[in-house]
A and B are shown apart, each in its own frame.
Chain A
Amino acid sequence: MSDEKVLCDQCGEREVAVRVTHVVDGEAREVKLCDRCAAERGIQTSTTVSQTPLGGFLHALWKTADPGPADAAGTGPCPGCGATFADFRESGRLGCAECYVTFEGQLRILIRRYHGSTHHHGRRHIGPADTGQPPDDLARGLREQLRIAVSAENFELAAELRDRLKELER
């Protein structure tokens, strides 16, 4: 084998860390990817696995915080809680549910890098039928979920939440 570096098929810049074989129309095709492009496609390579979850996660965060279109510098503070992306970088904690909408671009990359996916496959929550919370609180919660559902273009869930809100306001 030659010692020459093999470069990533996607970015053409970084060294290949993983080879993925897809079967398309009965034909096997190999795609060679670097750590970063692999992580963006939700493929976990050995170097993206860390023993200390938060440490590894923040490490990934620094790597993605390079200037670029997805840089957080242009994003203002979260309207929900006032937290900035710099606050998150420092503490590793988000301030509220709306932070996930405000910083969605950056978080999506980090979440995919850490979890190997951005799609939740577990149980789903659409708000209580009968609530112990005061109706105002519940409506506020449902409105927030509705806003998030719309921004994520999940219109099916949005319609369901809208019906719930209407029922509550009746």
Chain B
Amino acid sequence: MIDLSLVSDGGIGWLDASGPESHLVLSTRVRLARNLAGRPFPVRSAESDREDILASVRDATGTATILGPATLVRLDRLARLDRQLLHERHLVSKELAVPDADTTPRSGSAVLLGGPLGVMVNEEDHLRVQGLYSGLALEAAWGGVGTLDAELAQRLAFAFHPEFGYLTSCPTNVGTGLRASVLIHLPGLVLTKEINKVLQSLVQVGLTFRGLYGEGSEVVGNFFQLSNQTTLGKSESELLDHLAKIVRQVIGYEEQARQVLLRDAPGVIEDKVWRAYGLLRYARSLSFEETMNLLSGVRLGVGLGLIPDVGMYTLNKALVFTQPAHLSAMAGTELAEDELPVRRADFVRRTLEL
């Protein structure tokens, strides 16, 4: 099995709840899509092209001081379970790691990991320069990713068009190539049924929302990923400032909704969050979806000060480590589908006992 202890923070630094607004915002991700000039994009490239690209990127990252000593993981040479583990840990996209159940990633697919920063290689674009940080940390994430991009640009010739900007495989990413996402927990807005209004207004101001695992993923556990929809026509800082401003507004709405719940239905809320805690604390079998929803309830209880003594880090860790590849990794063997609910309940119980 893959040893993630080789990565400087084990690839879980973003879970430690140390960032700003960690009671509501789990993580902030910023990524830049880049391609090397003079080479077809990965979907149309030959195996030799992709190997050359990987070699060039690896050399360039070797001298990138902000990345530090990075760990190279070749996804095309990794077992499916290990690839899934990296995806569950939000370190690589689904497309790069587990395109679908029976397909192995295209040759040359790799990720370079160094603390919160990393580079996915030969995904949809040659490079996806990315950073994943705890809490609402758009400035810190852009600081890291922007610096890494600038360092790589000293060594690599990127495909760039004077009018359209950085060229990408999908024209929805052209221009800055920047996508910034904030993973935020909004149970108050869901319970007060205000969430649809908020989501609709996000779309009107040029943002988009997705589930826990990005594009195409469903919303589970009341977690929403808010991100910029367009990448061209505005500078990186304009895109980031706009997202930050709107996220702050959404945080304000969520906090208002929570106050409304406490004012109008304190008994119901208190019962709901403690029931969630009770189930997680004592259940002997839990599905992933049920776990996500119960963790959402407990997280709300902690946020409202109703449940003491449970840390956000514990709850964040439970979100990631209750997924199939993580449970298998902890068991040291690939678990069958019907073994997962029992193992999951065991893990949650042990985690909450601490």
Binding site for B on A (CB under 8 A): 42, 44, 46, 49-51, 53-54, 57, 80-83, 91-97, 100, 107, 110-111, 114-133, 137-138, 140-145, 148-149, 152, 154, 157
Chain B's closest residue to A46 (CB) is: B204
Query: 5 interchain pairs (CB within 8 A)?
Result: A50-B203, A51-B209, A96-B44, A126-B160, A137-B36
In the complex, which residues 27-78 of chain B have their Cβ closer than 8 Å to any Cβ of chain A?
A: 35-41, 43-44, 52, 56, 59-60, 62-63
Q: How far is the CA of A59 from the CA of B37 in the complex (A)?
A: 29
Q: Are B159 and A95 neighbours in the complex by a CB distance under 8 Å? A: no
A119 — which chain B residues lie within 8 A by C-beta? 163, 232-233
Q: Are A115 and B231 neighbours in the complex by a CB distance under 8 Å? A: yes
Q: Are B164 and A118 neighbours in the complex by a CB distance under 8 Å? A: yes
Task: Using known A-B contacts A120-B163, A120-B164, A131-B157, determine if residue A95 contacts B232 with beta carbons closer than 8 Å.
Answer: no
Q: Are A122 and B165 neighbours in the complex by a CB distance under 8 Å? A: yes
> What's the interface size class on B, roughly?
35 or more
Q: Are A122 and B40 neighbours in the complex by a CB distance under 8 Å? A: no
Please list the 8 inter-chain residue pairs (A to B) with the smallest Cβ-Cβ separation, ordered nearest first.
A117-B233, A120-B165, A141-B37, A141-B157, A154-B162, A97-B159, A95-B44, A122-B176
B255 — which chain A residues lie within 8 A by C-beta? none
Chain A's closest residue to B166 (CB) is: A125
Q: Name the contact of A120 in the complex, choosing from B155, B157, B169, B176 (C-beta under 8 A).
A: B176
B63 to chain A, nearest CB (A): 7
Q: Are B156 and A128 neighbours in the complex by a CB distance under 8 Å? A: yes
Chain A's closest residue to B149 (CB) is: A123
Task: Using known A-B contacts A119-B233, A121-B235, A133-B56, determine if residue A100 contacts B157 with beta carbons closer than 8 Å.
Answer: no
B33 to chain A, nearest CB (A): 12
Q: How far is the CA of A144 from the CA of B206 in the complex (A)?
A: 33
Q: Are B175 and A120 neighbours in the complex by a CB distance under 8 Å? A: yes
Q: Are A96 and B41 neighbours in the complex by a CB distance under 8 Å? A: yes
Chain A's closest residue to B202 (CB) is: A51
In the complex, which residues 223-246 of chain B have their Cβ closer than 8 Å to any Cβ of chain A?
A: 229-236, 238
Scan B163-206; emit 1 where CB is below 8 A from any A CB, else 0.
11111011110111010000000000000000000000001101
Q: Are B40 and A128 neighbours in the complex by a CB distance under 8 Å? A: no
Q: How far is the CA of A143 from the CA of B56 in the complex (A)?
A: 18
Q: Name the contact of B203 in the complex, choosing from A51, A94, A148 (C-beta under 8 A).
A: A51
Q: Are B157 and A128 neighbours in the complex by a CB distance under 8 Å? A: yes
Q: Are A93 and B164 neighbours in the complex by a CB distance under 8 Å? A: no
Q: How far is the CA of A132 from the CA of B157 in the complex (A)?
A: 10
A120 to chain B, nearest CB (A): 3
Q: How far is the CA of A131 from the CA of B157 in the complex (A)?
A: 8
Chain B's closest residue to A57 (CB) is: B172
Q: Are A107 and B171 neighbours in the complex by a CB distance under 8 Å? A: yes
Q: Name the contact of B162 in the complex, choosing from A115, A117, A152 (C-beta under 8 A).
A: A152
Q: Are A142 and B37 neighbours in the complex by a CB distance under 8 Å? A: yes
The answer, yes or no, to whether B293 is at the interface (CB within 8 Å) is no
Q: Are B178 and A81 neighbours in the complex by a CB distance under 8 Å? A: no
A46 — which chain B residues lie within 8 A by C-beta? 204
Q: Are A114 and B171 neighbours in the complex by a CB distance under 8 Å? A: yes
Q: Name the contact of B38 in the complex, choosing from A115, A124, A130, A141 (C-beta under 8 A).
A: A141
Q: Are B159 and A127 neighbours in the complex by a CB distance under 8 Å? A: no
B341 to chain A, nearest CB (A): 32
Q: Are B204 and A130 neighbours in the complex by a CB distance under 8 Å? A: no
B156 — which chain A residues lie within 8 A by C-beta? 128, 131-133
Q: Are B164 and A96 neighbours in the complex by a CB distance under 8 Å? A: no
Chain B's closest residue to A83 (CB) is: B44
Q: Are A95 and B162 neighbours in the complex by a CB distance under 8 Å? A: no
Chain B's closest residue to A92 (CB) is: B170
Q: How far is the CA of A139 from the CA of B322 in the complex (A)?
A: 49
Q: Are B154 and A95 neighbours in the complex by a CB distance under 8 Å? A: no
Q: How far is the CA of A40 from the CA of B154 in the complex (A)?
A: 36
Q: Are A100 and B38 neighbours in the complex by a CB distance under 8 Å? A: no
Chain A's closest residue to B152 (CB) is: A128
